[in-house]
Structure 1
């Protein structure tokens, strides 16, 4: 069993969860709440993700998105997340097409890809540890009282 590192959550982090399934959004949000994160916006359509990412003044700290949102659409979700300056980190889950292991970390650790149909608590804990070590996240930690 992997020893769990307890990180003091940065309550200023802005997190977006995008999934068509209401239950999946709730489960991910509940797990993040359990880890101490509450500044979360759940969305269910790709167009909502575009609006939230592109029209906000400050970059999104973390996008957690189900790959099935782009199923049947000619759109490269990985490139969108990797190349978008408004997204600091992203987790793309339920990505069956790439034939990836359960958790694949891509260059500069900005985008994580998971074949899991839903990120589990362990995956979210690992992800938040990466996000928390980002210098921008550490700077923003002073923005909201601990």
Structure 2
């Protein structure tokens, strides 16, 4: 079933935001939602990741260019989205140098104090502000 225009916009915004998470860092579903101005929508971030297209589909955003493994739950735990999914995510994070631990119940965790990425704004928004300021300075110099 095709997504509505709003759902497509949201998914693309989520995927673009996730692309900004640095290599070797993790953040939460809730923080991505907060960065996008919708702090009440962390579950929808998860839904977008669950429906992230495979690279083979040729979709603009896909599992090879969206670092899906860098988003975990607010407790620092890797959520189970299907059989073997948490292990696959832990392995992908391990390849980036992120250490994971397993508790006595078999849940997999990442230490947010060491690997967490929680900026107040997306780096691309900071760049846009810098570009706008540069543009204003150029305008002022020309007047």
Larger radius of gyration: 2
The structure that is strand-richer by fraction is 1
TM-score norm. by structure 2 comes to 0.32
User: What is the TM-score with the length of structure 1 in the denominator?
Assistant: 0.32
